[in-house]
Amino acid sequence: MKTTSLSDSSVSYGHVMLIYTGGTIGMVPNADGEYDNVAGKLHDYLYNSSLFNDPDYTPPTTTKRKLPNKRVTDDTGTLYDPMYMPIITKDTTEENPIYLTYTMYEYTNLLDSSNMTTEVMMQIADTISTNYDSYDAFVILHGTDTMAYSASGLSFSLENLKKVVIITGSQIPIYETRTDARDNLTGSLLMAGQYFSIPEVCLFFDSQLLRGNRTTKISAETLEAYASPNFPVLGEVEVNISVDEDLILKPSPDPFTSYVDISPNIAVVRLYPDMSLALLTAALASPVQGVVLQCYGAGNFPSNNQALLDAIEDAVDNGVVVVDNTQCLKGGVVFSYAAGAVLESIGVIAGGDMTTEASLMKLSYLITKYPGSPDDIKQQMALDLRGELTVAPTGSQAVAKTLSAVGIESSLARTAQSTADLKEAVYLPIMQLAIKKRDKSAIEDICKKEPGVLKLKDSEGKTALHFAVIEGKTDIIQDLIKKGASVQTRDRLGRSALLEAVQSKKMENVLLLSRHGAHLTMDSTELGFELNKAAARNDVDLLKAFAAAGASMTATDYSSKTPLETAQQCKSTKCIEYLHSHSGEPSAKKARKFRR
């Protein structure tokens, strides 16, 4: 985790291009009292705001400051003169004032994001490509309704990216007294100006930097409008600015390029009970080239509806690429149920934990990238191209990594970028096997040979301690803790070893980890969601495991409902009895909360 302070005078800032496409952030009421964009309005506000610009500042590299408000207009927009956002001002220090330089480019046709099209998305990609060598980073001002679609689309179109691109906007216009716009814009500029070498398309909202193709809009009313359900937060702007560099993608050695030809002929079809054959057939018909099918739970489909299955199979046979996505906010598609496996058998691809927005835009990108080659498209859809998909290595892949690490000729041995890669490749799989077989002698030998093995993480971010908890090996858990394993390390989805122990309902492991300082790394609403889910299933053992880990049994979910209320509604008798007797808060010593 890299953390910096705004008062740190050693931090250098790059030159940021601010691309204004429209959206609520710059809207004002029109004659009818409806919010709309006005050309030049946002720039004039920023230029005259002491928060966003110091018109008297003279950059040290120039002898004469340019005239303010200079406008250079082309066919697509207006490029203004640079503005200088004060970071450490001359009021704070006369010797070394620090400013962040940014230049605004305003599109001629400012859009409400509901009017966003793939053509405009590719216009944004072209703007970045055209100006790529002139700026260090890019911030895009965008309406919130379709921001996740653009973030996903740009992540695929901007190939081999080596500079950060951040999309942001707001729920309330920037001119209002109470607004989220100023914080979102300031945070985006600070992140882009300081961490300009992050080779990703990101989305910044409500103080959090998120991977763009992992985001989805979750609220039309609150300022916490965006979430990344299946991937951790990349960075935060709080008292200090922090970025988790372990989560950032590695830059490609290939030169940057933009691919601006994507297909609009993609459909999103949400499954529901008694869906009509005519509707599904119409959604699969020409000119549709790909379909994102939003199925139930882990990708399940009504396997007893042969007519619907035949319609999908016919479309797949005719070259339509069909991707199975979950309707759930969290989790992903795994063809582990018969109701899901039936789709796999007719050529449907599992979308894993991709958001619907990411699946849609990835499919749009690949269909033009591999025209007339559905098999190639399917193969690419199953790969993690831009960090949009969690792909766990198979057993054979893990073996291949291990063989490469010990010197057997393979592509991994030739391309491993560091010693750390090799350590992760060889020691962690062996450690996992030793844990599985409860081979304490092997565990001891590995820890002596590579003392850092307990800090290594697999592709899901899990350590040896996570694996021992999942395997339920209490004695191994105790040994690993004695050898220095951290009880607080979280995987890529933010799950700690304690949460794994709670979910497995093995009480002795919960108590063991708690005694060594482990605590739940969940905010109260997420905790409430898990407790209410357990109450609905009458899973009293899971409630007891959460309580043993220090969880409050009165935590509320996203609808402000307590576990007891859910248990009563679902007639979960065991849970009702337990919650009645454990409705008080846990002791202050046990009750801990950490916001991710």
CATH for 546: 1.25.40.20
Which residues make Cβ contacts (< 8 Å) with residue 388, sequence separation at least 6? 152, 155, 211, 213, 214, 354, 355, 358, 362
Identity of the amino acid at 185: L
Q: What percent of the chain has pLDDT over 90?
A: 60
Do 415 and 343 belong to one domain?
A: no
How is residue 88 written in tokens? 């450490």
Contact 200/130 with Cβ under 8 angstroms? no
Q: Which 8-state DSSP code applies to residue 73?
A: E
Within a domain: 595: no
Q: What contacts 24+ positions apart, CB below 8 Å, involve 313-318?
A: 313/346, 313/347, 314/284, 315/284, 315/291, 316/346, 316/347, 316/348, 316/374, 317/347
pLDDT per 10-residue tile (average), the chain, 596 residues = 60 88 92 86 94 85 46 79 82 67 94 91 94 94 95 96 96 93 95 88 95 95 91 91 89 90 93 94 94 94 92 95 94 79 90 95 95 91 92 48 43 42 66 88 86 85 92 93 90 88 94 92 85 91 93 88 90 92 51 34
**What distance in Å separates the CA atoms of residue 49 and residue 37, rounded to the nearest whole number?**
19
Q: Of 346, 381, 416, which residue sits at a domain end?
A: 381
Do 430 and 563 belong to one domain?
A: yes
Q: Which CA distances in Å does 188 have to 10, 113, 142, 349, 524?
A: 20, 19, 12, 35, 27
Nearest to 87 by CA among 3, 2, 187: 187
Helices 118-130 + 147-157 axis angle, to 10: 50
Provide Rg for the chain, Cα atoms. 26
How is residue 144 written in tokens? 């919130």
**What distance in Å separates the CA atoms of residue 163 and residue 147, rounded to the nearest whole number?**
19
Do 253 and 315 belong to one domain?
A: no
**What distance in Å separates the CA atoms of residue 187 and residue 182, rounded to the nearest whole number?**
8
| Residues recorded for the chain | 596
Supply the CATH number for residue 361's domain.
3.40.50.40
Do 22 and 80 belong to one domain?
A: yes
Within a domain: 171: yes
Upstream peptide bond of 586 is cis (omega within 30 degrees of 0)? no
**What distance in Å separates the CA atoms of residue 374 and residue 262, rounded to the nearest whole number?**
15
Q: Give the range of the structural domain holding residue 316, as residue numbers without chain letter.
A: 266-381
Helices 474-482 + 507-515 axis angle, to 10: 10
Do 249 and 276 belong to one domain?
A: no
Q: Of 335, 350, 381, which residue sits at a domain end?
A: 381
DSSP class per residue in 247-297 = TSPPPPSSPPEE-------EEEEE--TT--HHHHHHHHSTT--EEEEEEBT
Do 185 and 77 belong to one domain?
A: yes
Classify residue 415 by burial, with Cβ atoms within 10 Å: 0-12, 13-18, 19+.
exposed
Within a domain: 592: no
pLDDT score recorded for residue 166: 97
pLDDT score recorded for residue 586: 43
Within a domain: 387: no
Nearest to 490 by CA among 480, 500, 482: 500
Supply the CATH number for residue 30's domain.
3.40.50.1170
Nearest to 340 by CA among 357, 397, 331: 331
Within a domain: 309: yes
CB count in 10 Å sphere of residue 56: 8
H/E stretch holding 357 reads: helix 356-369
**What distance in Å separates the CA atoms of residue 352 and residue 333, rounded to the nearest whole number?**
5
Furthest-apart CA atoms within the chain: distance in Å: 79
Within a domain: 56: yes
Which residues make Cβ contacts (< 8 Å) with residue 379, sequence separation at least 6? none
**What distance in Å separates the CA atoms of residue 27 and residue 38, rounded to the nearest whole number?**
7
Q: Which residues are annotated as a binding site for substrate?
A: 113, 144-145
Do 7 and 149 belong to one domain?
A: yes
Per DSSP, which regions of 129-278 are E strands? 137-141, 158-159, 165-168, 201-205, 208-211, 216-217, 226-227, 235-237, 241-243, 257-258, 266-270
Do 230 and 290 belong to one domain?
A: no
Q: Known catalytic residues?
A: 24, 144
Do 60 and 194 belong to one domain?
A: yes
Within a domain: 594: no
Q: Are strands 71-73 and 77-88 parallel, antiparallel or unpaired?
A: antiparallel
pLDDT score recorded for residue 195: 81
**What distance in Å separates the CA atoms of residue 461 and residue 467, rounded to the nearest whole number?**
11
Q: Of 210, 226, 258, which residue sits at a domain end?
A: 258
pLDDT score recorded for residue 577: 92
Do 125 and 201 belong to one domain?
A: yes
Name the domain count of the chain.
3
How is residue 274 written in tokens? 């008694």
Within a domain: 321: yes
**What distance in Å separates the CA atoms of residue 377 and residue 363, rounded to the nearest whole number?**
8
pLDDT score recorded for residue 182: 95
Do 161 and 309 belong to one domain?
A: no
Do 124 and 87 belong to one domain?
A: yes
